[in-house]
């Protein structure tokens, strides 16, 4: 069983089971399971509302595409941030911990 830990926008830590490689990204998983109001651009790496911060676990080393990099570079003071829509729901996420940030609260 694969588990992921997500701190939601209420500050609650949720430990959730997930099935890797189900053709989902982390943004869709978060909206489906935690009903968070993120993902305005539907995963196009344009809006930044799905911004998350990795707090623990094995850090992902996958490449960041230029659209994601452009949004993340607006927040140089924040460490370990990603767009959840650009993170494939893979086994690499097992036992990682993420905080839902939602970039709208920083703009
Ligand atoms: S859903 Fe818009 S950037 Fe991820």
**What does the domain layout of the chain look like in residue ranges?**
2-98
To the question of domain 2-98 being in CATH 3.10.20.30, the answer is yes
Is the CB of residue 105 less than 8 Å from the CB of residue 75? no
Atom of ligand 1 nearest to the CA of 46: 3
The dihedral of CA 63, 65, 12, 29: what is its sign? negative
Question: What is the C-alpha to C-alpha distance for residues 5 and 16, in angstroms, rounded to an integer?
Answer: 6
- Kindly give the parts of the chain with pLDDT less than 70: 107
Residue to mutate (ligand 1; options 72, 85, 100; most atoms within 8 A of CB): 85
> pLDDT tens digit string along 27-56?
999 999 999 999 999 999 999 999 999 999
77 in Cβ contact with 70 (< 8 Å) = no
What global pTM score does this model have? 0.93
């Amino acid at each position: 069983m694969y588990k992921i830990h997500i701190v939601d926008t209420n500050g609650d830590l949720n430990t959730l089971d997930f099935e890797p490689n189900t053709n989902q990204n982390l943004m869709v998983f978060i909206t489906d399971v935690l009903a968070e109001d993120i993902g305005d651009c539907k995963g196009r790496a344009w809006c930044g509302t799905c911004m998350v911060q990795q707090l623990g676990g094995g850090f992902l080393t996958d490449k960041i595409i230029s659209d994601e990099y452009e949004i993340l570079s607006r927040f140089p003071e924040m460490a370990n941030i990603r767009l959840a829509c650009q993170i494939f729901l893979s086994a690499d996420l097992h036992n990682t911990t993420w905080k839902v940030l939602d970039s709208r609260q920083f703009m």
